[in-house]
């Protein structure tokens, strides 16, 4: 079998298996029964370069510009004002990942609560590996990650992160246009729209996203969403409920 075809076949099989596993949220009346388990949560991928994106792309560059709050060593985007002594929660995600969208729907409010309370340091690690699998999205993962960096410069990273997932297209691969990404900025209260829009148009943080993507792979990330607490994989039991998630994170173990 042709090597490229074999990679594509393997990738398709892995994605189908992951999608079958993504039984993440069941609605029961006005209550939500959360069925997320860490081992189920991961949206699998096999190859970093499974195809070519028809949109913009980027290569890692140690000299890349960094948005406000980005760590120059791990390239994670630190949000909130928690002290250095607080537990560290790292979230690795691709904006187009369906399981990431399900995680955000179930636990996004809890993560925002942790950020707002200052109890926990939260570091976002955006990735863009799905751009190669979803060429019709025209590089939406990279462009959305770039827009997140642009929003961080405007002090709206948390709000913009939520807006991206809240406005995820119903059909995987449709992605977002740059005009939509700009509109999300206005929607979360970014006032200097001229600067924000220029940041999007210029792709100011494409290389930062490439750095984040590469560092995530190099650190052992094998799928998204991946969550680490103080450098260790988050225990499966943390996903049993929102309450247990909050308790686990705040305890730092």
Buried b (16+ CB within 10 A) or exposed e, 32-69: eebebebebbbbbbbeeebeebebeebebeeebebbeb
Share of the chain above pLDDT 90, in %: 74
**77-79 and 31-34 beta bridge pairing:** unpaired
Model confidence pLDDT, tens digit, residues 15-69: 443 443 333 332 222 233 334 444 334 554 544 555 666 889 999 999 999 999 9
**How far from 135 is each of 102, 211, 250, CA to CA, in Å?**
22, 21, 39
Q: Please give the pLDDT value at position 43.
A: 54
Using DSSP's 3-state secondary structure scheme, residue 235 falls into coil
The pLDDT mean for the chain works out to 85
Mean pLDDT of the 92-114 span: 96
DSSP state of 137: G
Residue 238 pLDDT class (50, 70, 90 cuts): very high
**232-233 and 226-229 beta bridge pairing:** antiparallel
* Angle of helix 193-202 versus helix 178-187 axis, rounded to 10: 150
Domain coordinates of the chain in residue numbers?
Answer: 3-251
Q: Please give the pLDDT value at position 48.
A: 53
Mean pLDDT of the 85-92 span: 97
Calculate the CA dihedral of residues 19, 22, 27, 31 and round it to 10 degrees. Answer: -160
Model confidence pLDDT, tens digit, residues 160-196: 999 999 999 988 899 999 999 999 999 999 999 999 9
Residue 11 pLDDT class (50, 70, 90 cuts): very low
What kind of fold does domain 3-251 have according to CATH? Glutaredoxin (3.40.30)
Q: Please give the pLDDT value at position 176.
A: 97
Q: Please give the pLDDT value at position 6.
A: 47
Cα three-residue angle 211-209-100, rounded to 5 degrees: 120
Question: Alpha-carbon distance 11 to 15, whole Å?
Answer: 6
Query: Helices (DSSP H) in the chain: which residue ranges?
Result: 3-21, 38-41, 98-117, 130-133, 140-153, 157-166, 178-187, 193-202, 206-218, 242-251
Model confidence pLDDT, tens digit, residues 190-214: 999 999 999 999 999 999 999 999 9
Q: Please give the pLDDT value at position 172.
A: 87
Q: Please give the pLDDT value at position 1.
A: 42
Q: Record the pTM.
A: 0.83
Model confidence pLDDT, tens digit, residues 117-153: 999 999 999 999 999 999 999 999 999 999 999 999 9
SS3 sequence, 23-39?
Answer: CCEEEECCEEEECCCHH
Contact present, 25 and 106 (Cβ < 8 Å): yes
Q: Please give the pLDDT value at position 50.
A: 54
Cα three-residue angle 40-41-47, rounded to 5 degrees: 100
Q: Please give the pLDDT value at position 45.
A: 52
Question: Alpha-carbon distance 143 to 150, whole Å?
Answer: 10
């Amino acid at each position: 079998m042709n090597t490229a075809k074999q990679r594509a076949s393997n990738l398709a099989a892995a994605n189908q298996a992951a999608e079958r596993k993504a039984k993440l949220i069941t609605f029961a009346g006005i209550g939500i029964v959360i069925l997320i388990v860490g081992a189920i949560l991961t949206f699998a991928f096999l190859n970093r370069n499974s195809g070519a994106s028809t949109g913009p792309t980027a290569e890692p560059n140690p000299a890349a510009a960094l948005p406000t709050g980005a760590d120059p060593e791990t390239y994670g985007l630190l949000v909130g004002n928690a002290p250095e002594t607080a537990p560290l929660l790292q979230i690795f995600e691709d904006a187009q990942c369906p399981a990431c969208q399900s995680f955000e729907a179930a636990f996004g409010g809890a993560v925002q609560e942790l950020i707002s309370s200052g109890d926990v340091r939260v570091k976002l690690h955006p990735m863009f590996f799905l751009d190669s699998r979803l060429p019709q999205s025209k590089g939406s993962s990279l462009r959305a990650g770039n827009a997140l960096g642009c929003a961080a410069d405007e002090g709206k990273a948390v709000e913009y992160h939520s807006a991206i997932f809240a406005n995820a297209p119903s059909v995987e691969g449709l992605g977002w246009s740059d005009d939509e990404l700009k509109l999300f900025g206005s929607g979360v209260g970014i006032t200097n729209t001229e600067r924000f829009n220029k940041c999007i148009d210029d792709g100011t943080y494409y290389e930062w996203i490439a750095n984040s993507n590469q560092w995530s792979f190099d650190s052992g990330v094998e799928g998204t969403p991946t969550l680490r607490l103080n450098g260790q994989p988050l225990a499966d039991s943390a996903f049993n409920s929102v309450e247990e998630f909050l308790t686990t994170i705040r305890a730092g173990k």
